Structures are given as structure tokens and as C-alpha cells.
Amino acid sequence: MAGIYRGMPRAPEWSPEEDALLRKVWDEPAALKTVVHLFPLRTEAALTARGRDLELADRRRAIPAKRAAQSSGARMRAILESRSATAAELAELAVCSEPTVRRFIGANRAEMHITRYLPTRGDGAPTAVWVWGAGRDAKRPTPKSRQELSKRYYRKLKRERIDKFDEIRAQQRKRAAEKRGTFVRRDPLVAALFGAANA
């Protein structure tokens, strides 16, 4: 019987050998168009449709992860086998995104460990330094208390933004005076001339 287009032969029924070959290439990270030559009279769309008929895994979800494992994943592993690195350093060295690094760490967590933590900068969390190989993680530094973080913030503010520091201190004095009941509200005209009381 003629195919959809006049003169085009209709593809034969799928043979068990073709199904076995499709199952074999289906899980490979290479695109189906690179193996379509192995299936005479078949198109890439026909291979995809047959894969659905055979209820094979969804390549749109499974294959990108396999490709990453063989490309950026392989590069990250090679890097961590030769040196330690933070997630940001790993992304830069392996030429990939930080989300890709996080997925790699999640998938290979049992095969790698944290060798140390970098000192925190500002109020951020400590940065883990990873290395390939199973082992015990370095102890995570104890987080700073809110009082310590507050003191650090005000020291930095006083050093770098004295105007902002003075504004905050004035607000704090005003709230303290209101709480004690000693805050005096000046007449708007007097306040405009001489400034607000307790400032």
C-alpha cells in the first residue's frame, strides 16, 4: 500500500530486532537523529512514536540528566578528584551553572564530602568546600547570634554610612523616650525652626 505521499513506500511493521535496537539506543544520551540511520525507512518521529508505544522512559526528562552526567558531571568529578572547590568555583571551572552544580552534588552526595568551610562574609551562611570521595563532613561553624550580627551591622554602618547610622540612632532615642514617656512633641513651627525634640 502506498504511503501518505504518492510514491513513498509504507514503512514495514516493527520487528523484534528493531524494538531491541531501539531499546538499546533509547537510553543513550545522543539525540535520536544521530541513530536514525540504523533504522531503514524510519524517521526520528517514528522512533519517538515507537518509544511511546513501547512505554519507554520519557527522553525529555531522563536524557538531559544523562547528558549532564557525561559532560559537565564528568568535568566536575574530575575537578573534585584533583582539588577541593566551592559550588561557585566548581561552576566556573566546569563551565556550568550553579543549579547544575547543586543537582550534581545532590545526585553524588554519598561520593563526596565537605572538607572545610570558608569564613562567613557579612551575615551569609558559611561556604562549603567540597572534595570527591566518601568521608565525614567537616563540622559546620556555629551560627552567630542575633546580638553578634546586630553589633557587626552597626559597626559596619558607623564605619561606612555615618549618616544612616546617625538617623537610626536618632530613631532609637525617640522610641526609647516615647517608651519612658519623656518624649516631647514640639509645635510644628518651632520644630521647623529648631528641629524636633529628643532628636
The CATH number of the domain holding residue 108 is: 1.10.10.10
DSSP 121: -
Q: What is the pLDDT of residue 106?
A: 92
The residue type at 18: E
Q: What is the pTM of this model?
A: 0.44
Task: Please state the domain count of the chain.
Answer: 3
How far out from the chain centre does Cα 153 lie? 28
| pLDDT digits (tens), the chain, 199 positions | 444 445 556 778 999 999 999 999 887 767 788 888 999 889 999 999 999 999 888 877 766 566 666 678 888 999 999 999 999 999 998 888 899 899 999 989 999 999 999 987 655 678 999 999 988 999 988 776 777 767 777 777 777 777 777 777 778 777 777 777 776 666 666 566 666 554 4
Helices 162-180 and 146-160, axial angle in degrees (round to 10): 130
**Assigned domain for 102 exists:** yes
Q: Are the CB atoms for 90 and 101 separated by under 8 Å?
A: yes
Same domain, 88 and 59: no
Range of the domain at 27: 16-66
Residues 6+ apart with CB under 8 A from 36: 42, 43, 44, 47
User: Which of 87, 102, 132 represents a domain boundary (last residue)?
Assistant: 132
Strands 127-132 and 112-118: antiparallel
